[in-house]
Amino acid sequence: MSERVNLSDPDFEPTDEQLVGLSTRAFAHVKASRDAARVRTRDAIAVARAAALARLVAARARLGQSGT
């Protein structure tokens, strides 16, 4: 979409190509944001998993049990 369009013009009716261009630009950030959120979630899960395992090992040690 190389030409500028006036979206505030009530008589403006975009072509299919213009709509595709507008939506592509409008949602260009979504994939990167979703991917970043996914990485943050995986990192948080890894931290929580490590903390839970550490608590389990500590609890077993207090009870005199082995980890097997």
Residues 4-62 have pLDDT tens digits of: 778 888 888 889 998 999 899 999 999 999 999 999 999 999 999 999 999 999 999 99
Residue carrying the six token digits 């009530």: 10
* N-term to C-term CA, the chain: 63
pLDDT the model gives residue 7: 81
Burial (Cβ within 10 Å: 0-12, 13-18, ≥19) of residue 18:
middle
CA distance 55 to 31: 36
pLDDT the model gives residue 2: 58
